[in-house]
Chains A and B, each alone.
Chain A
Amino acid sequence: MSMTRRKLLGYLGIGSAGIALAACQPKVVEKIVKETVVVEKEVEKEVEKIVKETVVVEKEVAAAAGEVVEIRCTHSWPAELWPRQEQFDDTFNEEHPNIKVIGENVVWGDYVPKLTAAAAAGAMPDLMYCQYAWAQKFIVNRAVISLQPYLNNDPEFWGEDDFNPESLKTYRFKGDLYFVPYDEGPTNMIYYNIRLFDEVGYPYPNSDKDWTYEDLLMAAKELTSGEGTSKVWGWNGIPSMGGDLNMDFLATWGARFWVDPCETKSEINSKEAVECLTWWAAFRLEHKVSPTPAEAGTIPGNPFSYGRVAMMKGASWDNRWIHSNLKDPYDIAHTYIGPNGKRSSSSMGSGYGITKDTPHREQCWEYLRNYLSTEGQIFVWAAPGVGSPTRWSAYPAYFDSPLAPKSAKVFMEALQDYAKHEILDSPNGYEITQTANPIWDKALLGESSVQEALDEIQEAVKPVMAKNVQWCEDAGLIE
């Protein structure tokens, strides 16, 4: 039995109104909406009462059948999304009198210390959130169980056609799936500030023709203006040695950082890679159309969100904070066409899995199949417009969300067309990034040439990448 669609959709109306109001800027509007919400909440309470009364009867029946099993699920939500998570859990608990799910929230930055400590003590939660970069660590070390048996027996949930196939890549090991993804988003989209474009009278990205990488640079130059504290930059989004480097930057130049899915070999100092990264570094160093970190100030926030950058490279989930901070109208567009004549983007996301420590696997699966059902994804992720879901069937709700950008369909098109999950997701992926980035910093600061920095990176990442060989064999990625 999956969750009552009507119940969740009932919540949705209220929830999205709340999110919409957070986005409205003038105070008066906010107050009016707040009052409306209060009224809606009263109605909601009444409805809940009725539902509860009905549920009580069911509960009594169920209680006779067996006692209530408590399961813990650890999430990593920002605080403002937590009330929604609790609503979902309350609904679930009401509909499943034998299960009591307890949501726990650990901030993203603290998540790994918390979960590894718990794993070491055999005290993991029953269910856990997992970001792509950590997934293989948890899988290889058997901290989570294979979900394949459950998936195989649950065709209602596992209509594989509904899941974006790219989103499943990170969570496989020897053919089994260990986490079910809840979101997958492209990372190389162009966000643009409509006001800044209009002021210069420049056509919006791809509106006059499909932009190439050279058109992007030209636009960035045209849109850069002013000096010092009033400077406006054309573009924000210079490559770093992160998981998105291959698909977001190097691919269309015909280059690769890691050349195999096992991430055991680097070709970061190849001729094409040097060419590509030199071209991008020039945005900052030569053309000065991209802010340096010193100019941007990494905190507070991204300069795009206070209207000082005309275009930025962004992912689908960036929309939420841009929406709540940027005063100007904005929209998104497809990425540029690279030197090879194609568009390219990474895509990445997160998922949920069942841990080794749980004694209640069946109940965990019952929660997962509800949480990541189309209704579940719509409720927690798509309808509030937080980001792009992993189920195609949840997309219409996302497009309808008051938070989604006007051209939100571009996200889905990118995922179906060119965005690939070719990201650094091996167990040592993070170490590769952390080793390479400080060296790359020197090139971006102008303290060394791009060629020198890339040569140094090539040497530095060798021993780290070599550590992936064992995992690669275990995972069945090479014979």
Chain B
Amino acid sequence: MTAATTSKKLDWRASRHARHVVSQVFVYALLLAGSFVFITPLIWMFSTSLRPEWEVYTYPPKLFPNYWFWENYPEGWSSLIPFSTFLKNTLTITLFNVTGNLISCSLSAFGFARLHSRYRNVLFMLLLSTMMLPYEVTMIPQYVVFAKYLKWGNDFKPLILPAWFGWPFGIFLLRQFFMTIPFELDDAARIDGASTFRIFTQIMLPLVKPAMATVAIFAFVGNWNNFMAPLIYLNSMSKFTMALGLRLFQGQHATHNQHLLMAVSMVNITPILLLFFFAQKTFIRGVALTGIKG
């Protein structure tokens, strides 16, 4: 080996290293700038939640209030509207629905992704097509069925029951993930005499764990923030959800009490925020795309 080739190799390594440093700097600059853009509105939301009412409209706007008005939180939470009740209701509905969605969606998605049927494509298109009609025109007929014929007005049942019978978004998402799993795995299991249901529970489900977690998060957020259906179905305040409660701050002529609205909004997103922050490690591990092992 000659000296020339060695130095050339070193050069190549050095340049690769330099390129790596540059790319890392670029990545962090991008992340910092991006997260700043994404988080600024929330910082404003937070700062508004700490303002006294007469400082909400200060002009020019200041990012931070003169005095931190933590009283807004207890006041917004309980003085006008019983938010503790709303939180309990929202949690009840959300937890039931996430469970129901995960079970029903994974079963249906497995069927659509990995089992043969002449009707598979047609039925799948039918499933997707249920998402293509705006809810605004189906909600009243649906309400008539539930409230008039089943007498389920002012009841959680119409908000919970459908979740146990499939959710097109979740089914489609899980189908996409089931379809990326090679068939060799099923075949090997079938040789060992495993039934389809065992293949589903013991081989497939563990492999789509990240997707299941994603469906769980989307179901959680979707139900937590769901507004239109609870609006139509729930009458008495004792049954209201958080989303309906937040809406109560909006008056006929203006949005009053913006500081309280923001305080309660902050509280409203906190459970999801914490859930996401801590749960992500369990289902999203990192890969070293740029070749450095972390």
Contacts and interface: CB of A to CB of B under 8 A. Distances in A.
Contact of A107 (B144, B247, B253, B254): B247
Contact of B255 (A121, A299, A307): A299
A112 to B, nearest CB: 11
Given A107-B248, A109-B250, A79 B231 contact: no
B70 interface: no
Interface in B220-271: 228, 231-232, 235-237, 247-258
Contact of A79 (B52, B53, B144, B257): B257
Contact of B252 (A78, A102, A120): A78
B64 interface: no
B207 interface: no
Contacts of B235: 72, 74, 104, 125
A367 B52 CA distance: 38
Contact size range, A: 35 or more
A243 to B, nearest CB: 14
Among B56, B251, B257, the most chain A Cβ lie within 10 Å of the Cβ of B251
A117 B139 contact: yes
Contacts of B249: 78-79
Interface string A115-126: 011101111010
A305 interface: yes
B144 A325 contact: no
Interface in A263-321: 299-302, 305-308, 317-318, 321
A308 B59 contact: yes
A9 to B, nearest CB: 24
Interface in A20-43: 22, 25, 27
Contacts of A72: 235
Contact of B80 (A80, A107, A116): A80
Interface residues of B, number: 37
A323 B258 CA distance: 15
A108 interface: yes
A106 B231 CA distance: 8
A340 interface: no
Nearest to B235: A104
Given A117-B143, A123-B147, A300 B56 contact: yes
Nearest to A25: B54
A295 B286 CA distance: 47
Contact of B59 (A110, A114, A306, A321): A306
B57 to A, nearest CB: 4
Contacts of A120: 140, 143-144
B59 A82 contact: no
B205 interface: no
A105 B248 contact: yes
A300 B232 CA distance: 29
A118 B80 CA distance: 26
Contact of A325 (B57, B140, B250): B57
Contact of A76 (B53, B228, B252, B255): B252
B58 interface: yes
Contact of A306 (B53, B57, B67, B255): B57
A52 interface: no
A164 B248 CA distance: 30
A104 B154 CA distance: 11
A108 B251 contact: yes
A327 interface: yes
Given A83-B80, A117-B143, A321 B54 contact: no
B250 A80 contact: no
Contacts of A152: none
B81 interface: yes
A301 B236 contact: no
B153 interface: yes
A188 B162 CA distance: 50
B148 interface: yes
Contact of A324 (B236, B237, B255, B256): B256
Given A80-B256, A114-B232, A324-B256, A301 B251 contact: no
* Residue among A27, A108, A300 with max Cβ neighbours from chain B (10 Å): A300
B60 interface: yes
A106 B245 CA distance: 10
A295 B278 CA distance: 43
B144 A121 contact: yes
B257 A80 contact: yes
A143 to B, nearest CB: 14
A305 B147 CA distance: 44
A159 interface: no
Interface string B48-74: 000011101111100000010000000
Nearest to A74: B235
A207 interface: no
A203 to B, nearest CB: 27
Given A27-B52, A104-B235, A116 B58 contact: no
Nearest to B61: A300
A113 interface: yes
Nearest to B251: A78
A229 interface: yes
Interface in A56-96: 72, 74, 76, 78-80, 82-83
A117 B253 contact: no
A145 to B, nearest CB: 20
A121 B148 CA distance: 5
Interface of B: 52-54, 56-60, 67, 80-81, 139-140, 143-144, 146-148, 153, 228, 231-232, 235-237, 247-258
Given A80-B80, A104-B237, A117-B139, 14 more contacts: A25-B52, A72-B235, A79-B251, A79-B257, A104-B235, A110-B231, A117-B143, A120-B143, A121-B147, A300-B56, A300-B258, A301-B57, A305-B57, A306-B59
21 contacts: A27-B67, A78-B248, A79-B257, A80-B256, A104-B235, A104-B236, A105-B248, A107-B248, A107-B251, A108-B252, A109-B250, A113-B228, A113-B231, A113-B232, A117-B139, A117-B232, A120-B140, A120-B144, A318-B253, A321-B254, A325-B54
